[in-house]
Amino acid sequence: MIPLDIAIIAKEEELREELHTKLVCTANHGFAPYAQEELRRLFGSVKSTMLIPGEVFVATLQTGPEEAVEAIRLQPPIFLRHLFPVQMEMAGADAEAAIREAAGWLAQQEAVKEARSAAIHVRKTDNSSWAHSPGELREQLQQHLAPLELEFTVQQPEWIISLFATDDIWYAGVSKAEDNLSDWNGGAIRFQREEGQISRAKFKLLEAEQQFSIPFASYRRALDIGAAPGGWTSFLLERGVEVTAVDPAKMHPSLSGHSGLRVIRKNAAEVSFRESEFDLLVCDMSWSPKQMVKLVTGLLYSLQIGGTAVITVKLLTKKPMALIKEIIAQFEEARMQVQGAKQLFHNRDEITLYMIKY
């Protein structure tokens, strides 16, 4: 017979094992400390180790995996762009041995055995024991998993197999795309650059459309503040929205004469519109956030109740969390309800706010 107190200690240890989640977390370059802070605010003490400075870290939470995923889903983080749960850690100094171990472990996972399709996301550090490209590592792993007759796909996979290879430890996990916060490897969503594309800024609005599921084609009249050279404007015109573009700077010549476009070459502080003239307001001014809020809230009378606003907020400060809180509070005072706030992959030192007027 095992004495009762020893049995209880063993059980507690088992439970403690369960109440423990390891995540490989990714933020935009330089913003990992804020993603770490978001996790600390959600889960209390968080142990973390940087894997790629300022960008990727592995975090250990004293919470069970399901509870952790649920908490993150209920309070979506702004700076934590992507995560995957670590279910297996391998000694990685010998890359070939680590691949075999990873493949052997994966082949035994129920999710992998029963899955019809999966995506393999591979990333590595610069000094990783895997000296070739992540793509080559993915191919090797795929070859090892060939007997499973699993369809490897990029789009809408049933499961995502993640592998992060450093010089001495390789981290692996199997998860659903929604639990990773993104179905793109590391949350790095890529769009094809189109011929004649006016600006890279367009990618920000494309990404916001996907991230927040914004039905851009359902709007009729948009106000674009700080519109030049016209990446956002061209995106909205493509979605069939009429656009009023305000900017003292010149719009791209390819937009001139577009029947759905009105251009006002003025400072946005000097323009006025009819009440409720627009059902969409977008603003990407790359300007002092406090000035931007003043300017945008001054024009909100022209946005219908129920109308949408998509706005980038430049983080010109060492205290972005406090700044974001202040900016959101000011918009809320102006009857804007925040639906989403996120540092998108295509945002640099800024975040994107998605709001609805009530």
Classify 354 as helix, strand or coil.
Answer: strand
Q: Does 65 bind ligand SAM (CB under 6 A)?
A: no
Distance CA 179, CA 58 (A): 16
Stretch of 52-60, 111-119, 241-249, 313-321 lying at the interface with ligand SAM (CB under 6 A)? 241-249
Q: CA of 154: how far to CAs of 27, 119, 164, in Å? A: 21, 5, 18
Q: Which is nearer to ligand SAM, 47 or 193 (CB)?
A: 193
Shortest separation between residue 330's beta carbon and ligand SAM, angstroms: 17
Q: Does 267 bind ligand SAM (CB under 6 A)?
A: yes
Q: Which is nearer to ligand SAM, 154 or 269 (CB)?
A: 269
Q: Which is nearer to ligand SAM, 133 or 267 (CB)?
A: 267
Contact code string over 279-308 relative to ligand SAM, x by CB under 6 A? -----xxxx---------------------
Distance CA 290, CA 265 (A): 22
Q: Which residues make beta-bridge pairs with 309?
A: 281, 355
Pairing relation of β-strands 82-85 and 21-26?
antiparallel
Distance CA 271, CA 268 (A): 6
> Which amino acid, one-letter code, is at 104?
G
DSSP code string of 158-224: SEEEEEEE-SSEEEEEEE-GGGGT-SSGGG----PPPTT---TTHHHHHHHHHHHT--GGG--EEEE
Question: Given candidates 157, 173, 187, 230, which one binds ligand SAM under the rule CB under 6 A?
Answer: 230
Shortest separation between residue 226's beta carbon and ligand SAM, angstroms: 3
Contact code string over 172-211 relative to ligand SAM, x by CB under 6 A? --------------------------xx-xx---------
Q: Does 216 bind ligand SAM (CB under 6 A)?
A: no
Q: Does 249 bind ligand SAM (CB under 6 A)?
A: yes
Question: What is the contact surface with ligand SAM in residues (CB under 6 A)?
Answer: 198-199, 201-202, 225-232, 246-249, 267-269, 284-287
